[in-house]
Structure 1
């Protein structure tokens, strides 16, 4: 099989699919038209297809030999509630919704891979499962529900990629241990006793209490987490009161904390609880804490990662550089797949400032250099084609 030729032959179609999705985005858990469109693209490829897996997910199996191992390849397909501000022919046609993270590219890449592999089924040393996952962007995500609905049944390994405008076209980047963090959030509601601003002595002021609470929260990382570990605690929203001379009855704080290990995750959550208890006693208020645990940290399987990366080091048609990078503090529910099976996740570079493909993810001007999809497809194709059937 000539991988370079096949990718080039399918490139225009892949770009067309990516642009169609970019024009017709749907947000998490509402991807009704998207899932039907994906099915329409793969229904004639001779795959065993399950629809509505765990919600809007699609699982398509290319069964080559019952005695072979099975590798699953995953792409997510939901968009974000962001208005597309680019001036391009494929601009989103849905006001307030756009593919601002590259999931349209992931899906176009996976469909292209399915078309190539299904046409060369007799040459494959493994069975392949194509996981089209809904709702990566919004908790609780789609991965858990798909797993519960059997998406990983009879799967031995799972591999995925995320396009990234942090890295130039032609590059593949990875972290040897942790790609993404535990992505958790919290809400603290401080219930006090409101009253007139001129008589604060007869109130239990939730604003003063919550101001102290916010300051103390900022000490968690610096004083409770080892400097050899990593953690971030950020307050992103604060709401209290409506007028200048009235002390309100409550204040609300919202934030997020990001960690890499279970131990540090537990430390941060415990310290939040302790601080809330202390503030409650000190200011005669009730600081009620609600912690919402998000996606767990995404950790790569070392053996699988070595195999996937070695396939495109040196002898590659579209991959010019393979390099380890630091972990990110973002969240990614591919982590659930990687907790169930040996998993590998990597970045596919799509940055090109000359094509205005350099805005950060989740930005209204987000776009990619579509040439970058070639290196991601090549890496995933080689993952399948070079697999040792006795592994």
Structure 2
């Protein structure tokens, strides 16, 4: 009996999503054309909320930013499952020639958060129409500011967004994966991150008399080289970690002046929290060493970002099993994609409740790679419906498991 009920709900949901594909694409294109960067998503949040309000659904704000949720209360008893999508864009100038190209100069949905938001809006609409058949509550979680550390997730969590929530599911479209592929991974899945600003101040002077100065550029150059030994000489060879100096600001209009101050910006990625602590300690030690070696002063501002994303093994297996056992149109494979390098603030949800995050292939048909965060980032719009159907399948399976 349970199996037939599951198939009936699943079939109804898939039919509703397929019928709403034009709306899904239209929503995504509007969002793509009107991007807003992290912590400035005022109009984006208002647009999404208006969509729900027109459907008679009630958004509730959480946190100090623009994040909110819409709760769908099922007609049957059960736990609360949160489904999360992010909606911020990036400070990138779009180079694509699209009819729905960004109209905001220097801002672009270059990571796919417009896709995440649109598919969740349409999925929420369909689930709300079928709510009498659902167990428990489905919390539709729209989160801002994923792209800027520490991210919008901890702020919403501090605001109580996970109160009463048993599990969280998220998904990310991936242009590096073929359209039709759905990837998952249990355990450590995405890297934790940190960033730092190092201001080195020496004593400027004339290039012909270097003995009277403390050259900040020389000290900074030594730091850049020495920082690479953290990974090569301080980490276990089987541990993953990177230390990248992304910016070295020592520019001057003069050829013959010794620079008094330089500013370096660094990025750190790890796959274990003990590695995070070690790298932080080593960066601080190197900065302190510069002061003794070069007679400079160092101001290190080190900010921890998202933790390592650790997908709950049992919950991940539950979601993967549901996706594998359901014959979704457009899905050619569901497989373990392994761990991914980028950081993602969904990891904060994993830290508090058993959660999982999966990936939906979105490569364009011609095979050309359009990388995330690039000015020519481009997705295959077939991935929108696939994402909605995949997440909908996971939600139905979760609901029916409580019956």
Smaller-chain TM-score bracket: over 0.9
Distance 2:244 2:31 in 1: 33
Shift, 1:92, TM fit: 1.1
Aligned ranges 1:113-192 → 2 under 5 Å: 113-192=123-202
TM-score normalised by length of structure 2:
0.93
Aligned match of 2:111: 101
Residue 316 of structure 1 is aligned with which of 307, 320, 327? 327
**Residue ranges of structure 2 left out of the alignment (5+ in a row):** 1-8
Indicate if the aligned counterparts of 1:308 and 1:379 stay in contact, CA closer than 8 A.
no
Counterpart CA distance in 2 for 1:240 and 1:369 is: 42
Partners of 1:134 and 1:315 in 2: CA distance: 31
Write out per-residue CA displacement over residues 145-198 of structure 1, whole angstroms, 9 at most, x where no aligned residue.
111222112111100001110101111112222222111111212221111100
Aligned counterpart, 1:220? 230
Deviates more, 1:60-69 or 1:87-96: 60-69
State the alpha-carbon separation in 2 of the partners of residues 35 and 250 from structure 1.
Answer: 41
Comparing 71-80 with 282-291, greater Cα deviation is found at: 282-291
1:288 CA drift (Å): 2.7
Q: How many residues in Structure 1 have an aligned counterpart in Structure 2?
A: 390
Which residue pairs with 2:394 in the alignment? 383
Residue 279 of structure 1 deviates from its aligned partner by 2.1
| 1:285 paired residue among 296, 299, 306 | 296
- Counterpart check, 1:29 vs 2:39: yes
The one of 201, 207, 215 equivalent to 1:197 is 207
CA separation in 1, counterparts of 2:384 and 2:256? 57
TM-aligned CA deviation for residue 66 of structure 1: 7.6
1:322-372 deviation per Cα after TM superposition (whole angstroms, max 9, x unaligned):
11123222121111112111111011111124286x300111111211111
Question: In structure 2, what is the Cα distance between the partners aligned to 1:54 and 1:65?
Answer: 32
Where does the alignment leave 5 or more consecutive residues of structure 1 unmatched? none
1:355–1:369 Cα contact (<8 Å) kept: no
Say whether 1:333 aligns with 2:333.
no
Other-structure match for 1:272: 283
Distance 1:260 1:226 in 2: 12
Deviation at 1:46, TM superposition (A): 4.5
Stretch moving more, 211-220 or 51-60: 51-60
TM-score by length of 1: 0.95
